């Protein structure tokens, strides 16, 4: 038995769409894809009349190096949101299969499953957002195909160590794929689950340039898994997922200068996160600041809804996460620049004395 036995048989047998660019590359007179031979008359329009490379080599190789993976084990997607969707579509039969999630967690796992007609099983996290691996495994049913673990978790900010992930992946072998969402890994300093892809065939790791690489607008996500899983996802990804200006932006971010700036920004966020964790905790009206390994803080307030409105009235938008189980008194505040964070603190101090 291999991980492919867990996938949908109809997707394994699917004849994928074959695009013009896939069937023939090279040439100087390109009359095979019904593109315009003339570029659009817009700023930066040069080359935009052509369909983009489906998986540009330079970007695939750059991301493979960044994440410590082999290029053949990596697919670049329109944000990791698309990778989540592709995994659910490839592994879950509508009306039959299920995914398992640990709320409170990122909302897209459940949304993608529902769009696909897959069942959503839940195994809630413990009190401080802690994941109990034995309890999670006990919630796996024979129809569970994907087990999502968000590490660090959004919106609680807690991390999951590599030994726990290895234990889960090993225990799930031949039963389900462990999907480790590492959208916030850069802020946590823990070892990536990418190394597990060498050890077992039922792990998929999601990474993104949206958070720590300042490129949310470019929609560049990555899924890393065994070649056979990546080949399966290639069958169902839309033909030209990566707009060329987005690829150029990503290549710029991965350049030497881009990496230098990224390290600088990352350090700034870590410093500000430490400062905000202490300063928020000392404010009246704040019950608790959950320790965070990401670029946000989940903060419990005596009165979360009044606090939300007060911040909003001052032009500061934070995330109301009171609908999540166990977080009925909490707001999620992204770590901003020093100035932005000072404004948050000023509004909360003024509110406390009002």
Ligand X SMILES: *Cc1c(COP(=O)(O)O)cnc(C)c1O
Among 14, 94, 115, 216, the residue binding ligand X under the rule CB under 6 A is 216
- Taking CB under 6 A as the binding criterion, the range among 41-49, 54-62, 76-84, 172-180 that sits at the site for ligand X is 76-84
Q: Residue 230: which of 1, 75, 80 has the closest Cα? A: 75
Give me the residue whose beta carbon is nearest to ligand X: 79
**Does the protein bind ligand X through residue 222 (CB under 6 A)?**
no
Among 102, 156, 158, 208, the residue binding ligand X under the rule CB under 6 A is 208
Among 11, 63, 80, 91, the residue binding ligand X under the rule CB under 6 A is 80
**Does the protein bind ligand X through residue 150 (CB under 6 A)?**
yes
Among 210, 292, 307, 341, the residue binding ligand X under the rule CB under 6 A is 210
Residue with tokens 């608790």: 288
Q: In what order do the strands lie in the sheet with 286-289?
A: 286-289, 296-301, 330-334, 319-320
- Taking CB under 6 A as the binding criterion, the range among 53-61, 64-72, 77-85, 329-337 that sits at the site for ligand X is 77-85
Among 90, 183, 194, 230, the residue binding ligand X under the rule CB under 6 A is 183
**Does the protein bind ligand X through residue 201 (CB under 6 A)?**
no
Q: Based on CB atoms, which residue is closest to ligand X, 157 or 351?
A: 157
3-class secondary structure, 50: coil
Among 62, 79, 129, 157, the residue binding ligand X under the rule CB under 6 A is 79
Tell how strand 296-301 and strand 286-289 pair up.
Answer: antiparallel
Tell how strand 177-181 and strand 203-208 pair up.
Answer: parallel
Q: Based on CB atoms, which residue is closest to ligand X, 144 or 222?
A: 222
- Taking CB under 6 A as the binding criterion, the range among 74-82, 163-171, 268-276, 329-337 that sits at the site for ligand X is 74-82
Q: Based on CB atoms, which residue is closest to ligand X, 219 or 310?
A: 219
**Residues 98, 117 contacting (CB under 8 angstroms):** no
Q: What is the gyration radius of the CA atoms in the chain, in angstroms? A: 22
Among 74, 88, 106, 301, the residue binding ligand X under the rule CB under 6 A is 106
- Taking CB under 6 A as the binding criterion, the range among 14-22, 51-59, 208-216, 242-250 that sits at the site for ligand X is 208-216
**Residues 237, 86 contacting (CB under 8 angstroms):** yes
- Taking CB under 6 A as the binding criterion, the range among 44-52, 75-83, 244-252, 326-334 that sits at the site for ligand X is 75-83
Among 62, 89, 99, 181, the residue binding ligand X under the rule CB under 6 A is 181
Among 11, 21, 75, 81, the residue binding ligand X under the rule CB under 6 A is 81
**Does the protein bind ligand X through residue 154 (CB under 6 A)?**
yes
Which residues 6+ apart lie within 8 Å of 151 measured at CB?
159, 160, 165, 180, 181, 182, 185, 188, 190, 193
Q: How many CB atoms lie within 10 A of CB 189?
A: 9
- Taking CB under 6 A as the binding criterion, the range among 30-38, 78-86, 160-168, 247-255 that sits at the site for ligand X is 78-86
Question: Which of positions 243-302 make contact with ligand X (CB under 6 A)?
Answer: none
Q: Based on CB atoms, which residue is closest to ligand X, 155 or 351?
A: 155
The tally of CA atoms less than 13 A away on the side-chain side of residue 59 is 25
Among 221, 229, 237, 347, the residue binding ligand X under the rule CB under 6 A is 221
Q: Residue 192: which of 183, 202, 37, 201 has the closest Cα? A: 183
Q: Based on CB atoms, which residue is closest to ligand X, 208 or 347?
A: 208
Tell how strand 144-150 and strand 177-181 pair up.
Answer: parallel
Which residues 6+ apart lie within 8 Å of 204 measured at CB?
83, 87, 177, 178, 179, 180, 223, 224, 225, 229
In what helix (H) or strand (E) does residue 190 lie, and over which residues does it extend?
none
Which residues 6+ apart lie within 8 Å of 346 measured at CB?
none
**Does the protein bind ligand X through residue 205 (CB under 6 A)?**
no
Residues that bind ligand X (CB under 6 A): 79-81, 106, 150, 154, 181, 183, 208, 210, 216, 221
């Amino acid at each position: 038995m291999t991980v492919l036995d867990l996938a949908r048989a109809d997707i394994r047998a699917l004849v994928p769409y074959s695009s013009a660019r896939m069937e023939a590359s090279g040439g100087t007179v390109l009359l095979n894809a019904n593109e315009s031979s003339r570029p659009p008359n817009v700023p930066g329009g040069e080359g935009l009349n052509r369909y983009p490379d489906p998986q540009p080599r330079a970007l695939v190789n750059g991301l493979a190096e960044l994440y410590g993976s082999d290029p053949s084990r990596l697919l670049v997607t329109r944000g990791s949101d698309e990778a989540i969707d592709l995994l659910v579509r490839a592994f879950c039969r509508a009306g039959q299969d299920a995914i398992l999630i640990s709320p409170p967690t990122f909302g897209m796992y459940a949304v993608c499953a529902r769009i696909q007609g897959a069942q959503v099983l839940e195994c809630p996290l413990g009190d401080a957002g802690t994941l109990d691996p034995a309890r999670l495994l006990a919630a796996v049913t024979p129809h569970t195909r994907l087990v999502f673990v968000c590490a660090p978790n959004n919106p609680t900010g807690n991390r999951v160590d590599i030994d726990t992930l290895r234990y889960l992946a090993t225990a799930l072998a031949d039963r389900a794929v462990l999907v480790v969402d590492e959208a916030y890994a850069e802020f946590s300093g823990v070892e990536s689950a990418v190394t597990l892809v060498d050890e077992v065939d039922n792990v998929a790791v999601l990474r993104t340039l949206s958070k720590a690489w300042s490129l949310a607008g470019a929609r560049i996500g990555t899924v890393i898994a065994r070649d056979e899983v990546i080949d399966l996802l290639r069958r169902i990804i839309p033909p030209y997922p990566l707009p060329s200006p987005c690829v150029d932006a990503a290549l710029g971010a991965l350049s030497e200068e881009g990496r230098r700036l990224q390290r600088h920004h990352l350090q700034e966020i870590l410093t500000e996160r430490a400062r905000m964790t202490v300063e928020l905790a000392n404010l009246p009206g704040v019950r608790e600041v959950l320790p965070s390994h990401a670029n946000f803080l989940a903060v419990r307030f005596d009165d979360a809804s009044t606090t939300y409105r007060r911040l909003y009235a001052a032009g500061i938008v934070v995330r109301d996460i009171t609908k999540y189980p166990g977080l009925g008194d909490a707001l999620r505040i992204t770590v901003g620049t020093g100035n932005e964070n000072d404004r948050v603190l000023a509004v909360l101090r003024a509110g406390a004395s009002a």
